[in-house]
């Protein structure tokens, strides 16, 4: 049985890929509001505990309009730069709804966040010292490295022995020393073990580690388990979604056990990015050429890695759908082994390798599934290409432009006259 995500979800509402590209240009990011809201609600209901909160990790996608929807659904946010704090505020998030999980930030950036009233989580002893010098007597959070990581690629495993992130628990005495030295109050601890786990186990194990780290500190107002919740990128071949019910039940019982044992009631947080935003986004592009090269059929598109970096950066897999010239989904049984490439002058510019896809012609449309997370947010103007527009299909099935496409003038925007 064949599975087509856009058909299953009525993804494009009252419109179709042809109309969308004609209206907004190709390539194009398209988001579906109902899918986004559904994912938000699933995570908001994950844990049954009164002081449970969700911080959306804004780096996965920080489109202002999508952030507004996420905020409407009651999520707070996790920022990794002052730029994200700035955009989050514009989307309606209050400073006290943002946690800045910083990494190697300058004194200036730290000061901006402190003045804004955003809680900062520091992730090294030297950054804790810097915080103390700038803001003695202040409140701060610390990111620990629970000693074990998880993720879909070396590049996104953010705990364990081979990563730059977090403070190892063996340095707890030093942390306490610095807290005392600057009269700081540690109000929270967090961790983030990595991105894209499909089995609850490593997350639960890491949650246990941070709960035991928490026993070393009094006055904690929050304990943050981090993000990394995976989504099935291979739906067409039957990959199942993360068992959020199981994960939620396990987290809930861990939390209640801890609360009962310690007679404390801190806020508990999770920090997902991808899970919230990946599946509501699809990247559309146009086929401009096809060719045979040494037994490989290449489908040449405008989907360069400046538009979607994940496959080139992490060897990531995205399901592909093909639409004909008129925007209709192609479901022919005929399949050809094809490699979909972009228009960037590098041989690593490949969206998908050796896939059995319907035969395509010039003018056909390629849909890259699950492109909402780490898609637009990693776009660039490499090769002086224009970053695409972003469109949302709202709850009535109508398409609304939420970010315009770059113009050629944008390419000149920051140049000085000399
Ligand atoms: C990136 C990041 C996340 C979100 O990761 P996902 O895999 O998108 O859920 C959460 N917390 C921190 C600190 C991060 O850097």
What span, in angstroms and rounded, lies between the C-alpha atoms of 60 and 46?
20
Q: Which of 58, 227, 274 to mutate to test the pocket of ligand 1 (most atoms within 8 A of CB)?
A: 227
Check if 57 has its Cβ closer than 6 Å to any atom of ligand 1: yes
Give the three-class secondary structure for 389.
Answer: strand
What pLDDT shows up at residue 294?
Answer: 84
Check if 228 has its Cβ closer than 6 Å to any atom of ligand 1: yes
Check if 306 has its Cβ closer than 6 Å to any atom of ligand 1: no
What pLDDT shows up at residue 58?
Answer: 98
> If you measure from the C-alpha of residue 33 to the centroid of ligand 1, how many angstroms do you get, rounded to a whole number?
22
* Residue 255, both tokens: 């939390």
Q: Give DSSP secondary structure letters for 289-332.
A: EEEEETTEEEEEES--TTT--HHHHH-----EEEE-TTSPBP--
Q: Which ligand 1 atom minimizes the distance to the CA of 229?
A: 9
- Work out how many domains the chain is built from and give that number: 2
Check if 195 has its Cβ closer than 6 Å to any atom of ligand 1: yes
Q: Which ligand 1 atom minimizes the distance to the CA of 230?
A: 7
Q: Which of 155, 195, 370 to mutate to test the pocket of ligand 1 (most atoms within 8 A of CB)?
A: 195
Name the stretches of the chain with pLDDT < 50. Answer: none
What pLDDT shows up at residue 194?
Answer: 82
Domain presence at residue 219: yes
Q: Are residues 65 and 163 in the same domain?
A: yes
What pLDDT shows up at residue 404?
Answer: 98
Question: Going along 164-280, which residue ranges are E strands?
Answer: 185-190, 222-224, 267-270
Q: Are residues 179 and 200 in the same domain?
A: yes
Length of the chain: 418
> If you measure from the C-alpha of residue 113 to the centroid of ligand 1, how many angstroms do you get, rounded to a whole number?
19
Check if 190 has its Cβ closer than 6 Å to any atom of ligand 1: no
Check if 273 has its Cβ closer than 6 Å to any atom of ligand 1: yes
pLDDT, tens digit (0-9, with 9 covering 90-100), for 168-188: 999 999 999 999 999 999 999
Q: Are residues 370 and 230 in the same domain?
A: no
Q: Which of 226, 230, 276 to mutate to test the pocket of ligand 1 (most atoms within 8 A of CB)?
A: 226
Q: Are residues 270 and 363 in the same domain?
A: no
Check if 229 has its Cβ closer than 6 Å to any atom of ligand 1: yes
Q: Tell me the β-bridge partners of 159.
A: none
For the chain, the helix, strand and coil percentages under 3-state DSSP, each to the nearest 5: 35, 25, 45
Q: Are residues 186 and 291 in the same domain?
A: no
Q: Are residues 408 and 351 in the same domain?
A: yes
Check if 101 has its Cβ closer than 6 Å to any atom of ligand 1: yes
Check if 78 has its Cβ closer than 6 Å to any atom of ligand 1: yes
Q: Are residues 128 and 68 in the same domain?
A: yes
Respond yes or no on whether the N-terminal peptide bond of residue 156 is cis (omega within 30° of 0). no
Nearest CA to ligand 1 atom 10: 227
Q: Which ligand 1 atom minimizes the distance to the CA of 59?
A: 1
Q: Supply the residues annotated as catalytic.
A: 345
Show the domain range for 355: 5-30+278-412
Buried b (16+ CB within 10 A) or exposed e, 345-362: eeeebbbbeebebbebee
pLDDT, tens digit (0-9, with 9 covering 90-100), for 215-264: 999 889 999 999 999 999 999 999 999 999 999 999 999 999 999 999 99
Residue ending a domain, among 275, 300, 330, is 275
Q: Which ligand 1 atom minimizes the distance to the CA of 373?
A: 8
Q: Which ligand 1 atom minimizes the distance to the CA of 278?
A: 8
Q: Are residues 13 and 78 in the same domain?
A: no
Residue ending a domain, among 236, 255, 275, is 275
What span, in angstroms and rounded, lies between the C-alpha atoms of 354 and 377?
27
Q: Are residues 221 and 304 in the same domain?
A: no
Q: How many C-beta atoms surround the C-beta of residue 64 within 10 A?
A: 14
What pLDDT shows up at residue 267?
Answer: 98
> If you measure from the C-alpha of residue 55 to the centroid of ligand 1, how many angstroms do you get, rounded to a whole number?
10
Q: Are residues 270 and 315 in the same domain?
A: no
> If you measure from the C-alpha of residue 192 to the centroid of ligand 1, how many angstroms do you get, rounded to a whole number?
7
pLDDT, tens digit (0-9, with 9 covering 90-100), for 139-159: 999 999 887 666 666 776 677
Burial class (CB in 10 A: 0-12, 13-18, 19+), 116: middle
H helix runs in 123-199, sequence order: 125-134, 172-181
Residue ending a domain, among 221, 245, 275, is 275
Q: Are residues 228 and 182 in the same domain?
A: yes
Q: Are residues 346 and 250 in the same domain?
A: no
What span, in angstroms and rounded, lies between the C-alpha atoms of 248 and 46?
5
H helix runs in 263-391, sequence order: 274-277, 310-314
């Amino acid at each position: 049985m064949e599975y087509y995500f856009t058909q299953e979800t009525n993804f494009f509402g009252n419109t179709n890929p042809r109309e969308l590209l004609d209206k907004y240009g190709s390539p194009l990011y398209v988001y579906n509001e109902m899918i986004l809201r559904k994912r938000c609600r699933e995570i908001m209901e994950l844990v049954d505990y009164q002081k449970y909160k969700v911080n959306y990790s804004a780096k996965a996608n920080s489109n202002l309009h999508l952030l507004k929807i996420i905020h409407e659904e009651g999520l707070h946010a996790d920022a990794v730069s002052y730029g994200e704090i700035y955009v989050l505020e514009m989307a309606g998030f209050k400073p006290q709804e943002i946690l800045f999980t910083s990494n190697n930030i300058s004194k200036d950036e730290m000061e901006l966040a402190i003045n804004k009233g955003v809680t900062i989580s520091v992730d090294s002893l030297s950054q804790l010292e810097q915080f103390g010098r700038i803001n003695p007597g202040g409140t701060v959070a610390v990111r620990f490295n629970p000693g074990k990581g998880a993720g879909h690629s070396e590049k996104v495993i953010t705990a364990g022995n081979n990563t730059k992130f977090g403070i190892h628990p063996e340095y707890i005495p030093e942390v306490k020393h610095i807290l005392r030295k600057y009269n700081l109050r540690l109000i929270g601890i967090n961790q983030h073990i990595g991105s894209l786990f499909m089995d609850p186990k490593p997350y639960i194990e890491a949650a246990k580690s941070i709960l035991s780290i928490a026993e070393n500190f009094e006055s904690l107002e929050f304990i943050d388990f981090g993000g990394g919740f995976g989504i099935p990128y291979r739906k067409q071949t039957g990959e199942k979604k993360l068992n959020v019910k199981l994960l939620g039940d396990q987290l809930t019982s861990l939390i209640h056990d801890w609360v009962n044992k310690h007679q404390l009631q801190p806020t508990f947080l999770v920090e997902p990015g991808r899970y919230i935003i990946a599946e509501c986004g699809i990247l559309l592009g146009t086929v401009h050429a096809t060719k045979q090269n040494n037994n490989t059929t290449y489908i040449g598109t405008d989907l360069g890695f400046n538009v979607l970096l994940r496959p080139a950066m992490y060897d990531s897999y995205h399901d592909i759908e093909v639409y004909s010239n008129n925007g209709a989904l192609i479901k022919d049984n005929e399949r050809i082994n094809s490699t979909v490439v972009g228009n960037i002058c590098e041989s690593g510019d490949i969206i998908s390798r050796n896939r059995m896809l319907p035969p395509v012609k010039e003018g056909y449309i390629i849909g890259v599934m699950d492109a909402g997370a780490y898609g637009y947010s990693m776009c660039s103007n490499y090769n002086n290409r224009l970053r695409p527009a972003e469109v949302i299909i709202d709850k009535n099935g109508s398409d609304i432009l939420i970010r315009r496409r770059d113009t050629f003038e944008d390419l000149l925007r920051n140049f000085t006259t000399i």
